[in-house]
A and B are shown apart, each in its own frame.
Chain A
């Protein structure tokens, strides 16, 4: 539970969505599981430890440092992509040669439900293509973009 909470807290800071919105997708466990399976527990532990530090210092500074980190930065970026798209994208080749390639590090949609939960659609005031249809004639109304909560 502690790991899940750390994962969601860090993901919230990275994605710009409230923790409650991330829990609301129902994907937290699945994403954390995929992340651990793909990059290993040690990398995830270091990533989450860096996340736990956010609370203590200047979060913007700490996040900037995390994203620039050679090892953890690309993983953190992939966590953002995961939440926004519901899909894992392969880590850069350079990362794989330095920190180890994983057979699971291939581009894939985690599941139909993760695709439906992609945050990118929410961020643009739309809905995932093929799911969560907003109702007849909804496309005729003026667009709105939800503000970051």
Chain B
């Protein structure tokens, strides 16, 4: 790796409470705690404190099962259904989102305060383990051109780190998360691997439905925006236990190591894997040195700087330690360290910084990005075995890059195994409408059996460009139960994305036709995420891929952090997570986030002079 541009911070003082304080016990916090927790100064382990706003949700197998039961017993099985959040550390919920109108703005239903013009529809989980408790486990690398969008396509920002520089950290991330994939499936659009590299586990078997779709789609040539592309259905790399390759032992459930050694096909990766075959940061937490101190239910409310100079180092953090069911704590506590790491997420990190400084780096909070997610759905002519296996085990990846990115968003395309589930509340809605038609007995069974297993959908994730107007900001009129300002969000989806939606819609129609499927896609203007382009309507939802709000770059004027995710202004402050991504491109960001976290962990060790 390149050398840090900053002078080493060193062990500044013996008087600091800790060497490192990490804010957030999600995926980034877990990786940092794992790496830094095993480092030592002489024979002394580093003194590390992790402060987590939310509760611990899976210390033991039965703790974790309580979340599973909560999910199974929920009427509406949204991503946050298993994960009960605390009143003192609220989480946004997709059920909070409503259509916005000029009169309803700002809409403060739920945790976010939505300033529009479109609602920001993604949620997250504030708990130990973070939002990767309910991720799907898609672990794609970015394609090399994604790091050079400004140079190649004239917008966004180039990354200060290249694919080649990041590649060794991708490998570490893939082994930490336990990614199942075959190298030969993943070499497309310039993605390369080290000679002899293999993923820790073989790819997750493709679904019957994947093979069926591939049988028609593979080799079809489509022309979009004048570019002809031969389509290919690719196995998706997934951080979910499969058949191990040499040198790797699958990691089972936290607290019940014999469980979850293979994916059992429970089909609920989102929102909770009941056997923990899917990676969650709880697995990494299970491997963290016991010298690392983790305090849950501690909400950091303020970063205190050593003086008022814009480049003053951080002197302390203030946090509220609460107990659910008791009144809020009256006063915050303080903790000091040599190095401070904010590992919240792309909304919680800027929220905290904006609450702490009158004039922070102007990039803080700006360029909020997500992957607007659009679905198209159809009935296949025959039973394709919908509702079996992980939500998605394959995708069409070859459309993720091309010269068209000068004009419109690239997208990746998920082939989805779960029918129409949350689009129409299937299969329950199918059952209820059949019952309401008066069907019963064998006829009812036949109707359901005929229709539901034929349900099919594509999911499209579009790259969203960094727009300074899409941002997180604060308004002291909106605070949470601890008096901490809630995130206010201004968000829109620009024409670049909408043109991508139009391109994908045409593709979707032609693929449904090739598959002999009858399309049922209907977009409604009463949905929160309703947009149009050139007369084409769409409904989008959030993908939960929050990014961009403390972007990394080559200099202070274009970014908030350097390539090691260190604040330009505050030399002992790191902002680590998807917020550092200057552009989000089309890959689900978790793997890249994890790779960047490994790289930052090394930089922190360099700062402390312990590597």
Q: Which chain A residues have a beta carbon within 8 Å of chain B's beta carbons?
A: 13-17, 63-64, 67-68, 77, 80-81, 84-85, 87, 89, 107-109, 111-112, 115-116, 120-121, 123-143, 145, 148
Contacts and interface: CB of A to CB of B under 8 A. Distances in A.
Contact of A145 (B242, B265, B418, B453): B453
Given A84-B431, A125-B453, A16 B443 contact: yes
Nearest to B264: A133
A60 to B, nearest CB: 8
A112 B506 CA distance: 42
B69 interface: yes
Interface in B383-399: 383-390, 393
B442 interface: yes
B208 A120 contact: no
Given A133-B267, A136-B262, A87 B453 contact: no
B449 interface: yes
Interface stretch (B73-81, B280-288, B536-544, B582-590): B73-81
Given A63-B440, A109-B73, A143-B383, A120 B265 contact: no
14 contacts: A13-B440, A16-B445, A68-B438, A116-B72, A123-B445, A123-B448, A126-B453, A129-B267, A136-B265, A138-B389, A139-B417, A141-B208, A143-B385, A145-B453
A125 B71 CA distance: 22
B435 A16 contact: no
Interface in B448-472: 448-449, 452-453
A138 B390 CA distance: 11
- Do most interface residues of chain B lie in helix, strand or loop, or is the interface mixed? loop
What are the 4 tightest A-B residue pairs by CB atom distance, in nearest-first order? A139-B389, A143-B385, A133-B264, A130-B268
Contacts of A137: 205, 265
B240 to A, nearest CB: 10
Given A15-B444, A80-B440, A138 B265 contact: yes
B440 A124 contact: no
Contact of B436 (A17, A77, A84, A142): A77
A21 to B, nearest CB: 11
A116 B449 CA distance: 18
B393 A112 contact: no
B72 A134 contact: no
Given A77-B436, A115-B72, A115-B73, A13 B441 contact: yes
A63 B274 contact: no
Contacts of B431: 81, 84-85, 120
B137 interface: no
Most chain-B Cβ atoms within 10 A of its Cβ — which of A64, A120, A139, A142? A139
Given A124-B427, A139-B207, A14 B440 contact: yes
B274 A130 contact: yes
B185 to A, nearest CB: 15
B87 interface: no
Contact of B264 (A15, A63, A64, A134): A134
B274 A139 contact: no
A140 B448 contact: no
Contacts of B442: 16, 148
A127 to B, nearest CB: 7
A108 B205 CA distance: 36
